[in-house]
C-alpha cells in the first residue's frame, strides 16, 4: 500500500497523508477506516468493490484515502478496469474504443469532505492519470451542486475534461406507513391506484400470488423465478436487464450473503410473470432493473408489483428511502418525491490515446443532444414506441432458456 505525504493543499497543521490501495490486501488494511467513514451506497462498500473487481477481468481496486490533520479521513472508492467508450445513436453503436480507466463508484466519495478535501482527492487521481496508471478517470453521476463537482470543474483545462449530460436521480422518501403515503397523493391519483389494484384482482383473483425474498424468507426459488422472467422481459431485448452476467451474479450472491437483497415476484397460475428487486444498504433500497412477461403488459403486472414493493417498504422501519436511480421512466416521475441532478465527469491525460477517448465522448454527447431534441417530437415518440414494440415482440417470441442456479 502506498502511503505518502504529497504536494497537496495542506491540512490545518500543514500535513496531508494520502494512502492508495491497489490490491485486495491493501483494501483490507483500509477496511476499518473505510467502514468508520460510513459509506452511504452499496456501490461504495468494500465488499461490493472487491466482488466487482473479482468478477471483472483485468480489474483491480484503486481506493484513495486522505487524512488531513484535524479532520476525519475521507476516501474515494474506485477500481481500475478496462472500459468501453462508445459513440451511440439510439440503440446502435457507431464506434467504440477500450482503455484502462479508473472508475469511481456511485456515491464513491465516503466521509464528510469539505471543498479542500475534494480538491485534494481530485488532484491525486488526476496525478495518477497523468502518470499513466490509466487513460482516464471517470467520476460517475456527480451531483451538479456539490463540492466534488466544483473541484472537478477546477481541475486542468477544459480539453482534459468531459462532462456528460445532466441526469436526475429520482427517489422516494418514505412516510411512516402505506396509508400516509396514499394520503400525500392527490385524490385522483389515489382513485387510480385503487382502481388498478381492484382491476388486477378481478382479472386474476385467486390465480394470482405475490412472493417476497428477504432475510426472513430467503427462498432461492423466488430468485430463480425472477431470472426466468428477466430472460423473457422486453428489457432484455433493450439490453438493460441482465441478471446472469458474471458481475451481476457475483453482486447478487454478495447481497444474499449480507442480507441486503430484497425481491418481489408476482405469479399467475404459479407462473412467474413480473418482478421487482433491490438492495437495502444504510437505509436506502436501491432498485435494480425490473421485468415482466410481455403478454401480461396490458394487465399491468409490473405496476402492481411495484406498488407492493412501495407498500412493504413503508412498513419496514429499516427502509427510509427508495432509490429509483437515473432515467426518465414514467413510474419514477409518478412515485418519486425527491431528485438530485447529476452528471458524469471524466478527466484525461494530455496523451494521444486519451485525446481520442475525449473526442469519442464529445461525438457521443453531440449525437445524444440531437437525439434528445428529436425524441421530444411526435415522430421521435413514435419511433421510440416502435423500437420498444419490436423488443417486446422479440422477447415474447423467445423460449425461456435454461436458467442457472442463483
The residues facing 100 across adjacent strands are 82
Asked if 406 contacts 252 with a C-beta cutoff of 8 angstroms, the reply is yes
pLDDT in tens, 334-348: 999 999 999 999 999
> Buried (b) or exposed (e) across 127-150, using 16+ Cβ within 10 A?
ebbbeebbbbbbbbbbeeebbbbe
Q: Where are the domains of the chain?
A: 2-167+342-374, 175-319+382-397
pTM assigned to the model: 0.85
The residues facing 276 across adjacent strands are 264
pLDDT in tens, 231-256: 888 655 545 456 777 888 899 999 99
Cell numbers placing 35? 467502514
- Give Cα 206 to chain centroid, integer Å: 36
Q: What is the DSSP letter of 182?
A: H
Cα 254 to Cα 108, 162, 279, 381, distances in angstroms: 19, 33, 10, 39
Query: Nearest CA to 155 among 396, 363, 347, 366?
Result: 347
Place of cell 429499516: 318
As a CATH number, domain 175-319+382-397 is 3.40.630
Alpha helix stretches (DSSP H) within 233-351: 234-237, 246-257, 301-315, 330-335
Cell numbers placing 160? 482534459
Query: How far is residue 249's CA from residue 346's CA, in Å, rounded to a whole number?
Result: 28
The residues facing 268 across adjacent strands are 208, 271
Per-residue pLDDT at 401: 35
140-144: list long-range contacts, CB under 8 Å, 24+ apart.
140/103, 140/104, 140/105, 140/106, 140/108, 140/344, 141/106, 141/167, 141/169, 141/326, 141/342, 141/343, 141/344, 142/342, 142/343, 142/344, 142/345, 143/340, 143/341, 143/342, 144/341, 144/342, 144/343
Asked if 309 contacts 264 with a C-beta cutoff of 8 angstroms, the reply is yes
Q: What is the DSSP letter of 207?
A: G
287-290: list long-range contacts, CB under 8 Å, 24+ apart.
287/322, 287/323, 287/324, 287/325, 289/230, 289/235, 289/240, 289/241, 290/235, 290/241
**2-167+342-374 belongs to CATH 1.20.1070:** no
Conformational region of residue 282, where left means phi above 0, alpha means psi within -120 to 50, and beta covers everything else: left
Q: List, in order, residues 6 or more apart from 167 with CB less than 8 Å away.
A: 141, 326, 327, 341, 342, 343
What is the chain's pLDDT, residue by residue, as a tens digit (406 residues)?
655 434 444 444 457 899 999 999 999 999 999 999 999 999 999 999 999 999 999 999 999 999 988 889 999 999 999 988 878 776 677 877 789 999 999 999 999 999 999 999 999 999 999 999 999 999 999 999 999 999 999 998 888 889 988 999 999 999 999 999 999 999 999 999 999 999 999 999 999 999 999 999 999 999 999 999 998 886 555 454 567 778 888 999 999 999 999 999 999 999 999 999 999 999 999 999 999 999 999 999 999 999 999 999 999 999 999 999 998 888 999 999 999 999 999 999 887 777 778 877 878 777 776 766 666 566 656 665 565 555 555 544 543 333 333 3
Element (DSSP H or E) covering residue 120: helix 115-130
For every residue of 293-322, DSSP letters joined together read -GGGGGGTHHHHHHHHHHHHHHH-TT--EE
Amino acid at each position: 500500500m502506498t502511503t505518502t505525504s504529497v504536494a497537496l493543499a495542506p491540512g490545518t497543521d500543514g500535513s496531508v497523508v494520502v494512502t492508495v490501495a491497489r490490491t485486495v490486501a491493501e483494501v483490507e488494511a483500509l477496511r476499518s477506516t473505510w467502514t468508520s467513514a460510513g459509506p452511504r451506497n452499496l456501490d461504495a462498500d468494500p465488499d461490493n468493490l472487491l466482488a466487482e473487481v473479482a468478477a471483472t477481468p483485468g480489474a483491480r481496486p484503486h481506493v484513495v484515502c486522505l487524512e488531513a490533520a484535524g479532520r476525519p479521513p475521507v476516501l474515494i472508492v474506485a477500481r481500475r478496469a478496462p472500459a468501453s467508450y462508445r459513440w451511440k445513436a439510439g440503440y446502435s453503436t457507431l464506434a467504440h474504443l477500450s482503455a484502462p480507466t479508473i472508475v469511481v463508484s456511485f456515491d464513491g466519495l465516503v466521509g464528510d469532505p469539505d471543498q479542500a478535501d475534494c480538491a485534494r482527492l481530485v488532484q491525486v487521481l488526476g496525478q495518477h492519470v497523468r502518470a499513466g496508471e490509466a487513460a482516464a478517470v471517470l467520476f460517475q453521476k456527480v451531483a451538479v451542486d456539490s463540492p466534488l463537482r466544483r473541484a472537478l470543474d477546477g481541475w486542468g483545462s477544459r480539453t482534459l475534461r468531459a462532462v456528460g449530460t445532466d441526469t436526475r436521480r429520482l427517489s422516494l422518501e418514505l412516510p411512516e406507513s402505506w396509508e400516509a403515503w396514499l394520503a400525500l397523493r392527490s385524490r385522483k391519483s389515489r382513485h387510480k391506484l385503487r382502481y388498478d389494484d381492484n382491476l388486477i384482482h378481478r382479472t386474476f383473483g385467486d390465480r394470482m400470488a405475490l412472493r417476497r425474498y428477504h432475510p426472513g424468507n430467503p427462498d432461492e426459488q423466488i430468485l430463480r423465478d425472477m431470472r426466468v422472467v428477466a430472460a423473457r422481459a422486453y428489457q432484455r431485448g433493450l439490453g438493460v436487464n441482465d441478471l446472469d452476467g458474471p458481475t451481476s451474479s457475483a453482486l447478487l450472491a454478495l447481497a444474499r450473503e449480507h442480507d441486503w437483497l430484497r425481491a418481489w415476484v408476482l405469479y399467475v397460475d404459479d407462473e412467474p410473470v413480473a418482478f421487482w428487486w433491490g438492495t437495502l444498504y444504510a437505509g436506502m433500497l436501491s432498485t435494480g432493473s425490473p421485468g415482466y412477461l410481455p403478454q401480461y403488459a396490458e394487465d399491468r403486472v409490473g405496476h402492481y408489483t411495484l406498488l407492493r414493493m412501495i407498500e412493504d417498504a413503508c412498513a419496514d422501519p429499516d427502509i427510509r428511502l427508495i432509490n429509483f436511480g437515473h432515467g426518465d421512466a414514467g413510474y419514477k416521475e409518478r412515485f418519486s418525491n425527491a431528485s438530485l441532478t447529476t452528471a458524469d465527469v471524466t478527466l484525461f491525460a494530455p496523451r494521444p490515446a486519451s485525446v481520442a477517448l475525449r473526442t469519442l465522448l464529445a461525438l457521443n454527447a453531440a449525437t445524444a443532444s440531437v437525439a434528445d431534441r428529436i425524441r421530444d417530437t411526435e415522430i421521435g415518440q413514435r419511433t421510440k414506441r416502435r423500437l420498444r414494440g419490436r423488443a417486446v415482440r422479440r422477447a415474447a417470441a423467445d423460449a425461456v432458456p435454461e436458467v442457472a442456479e442463483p
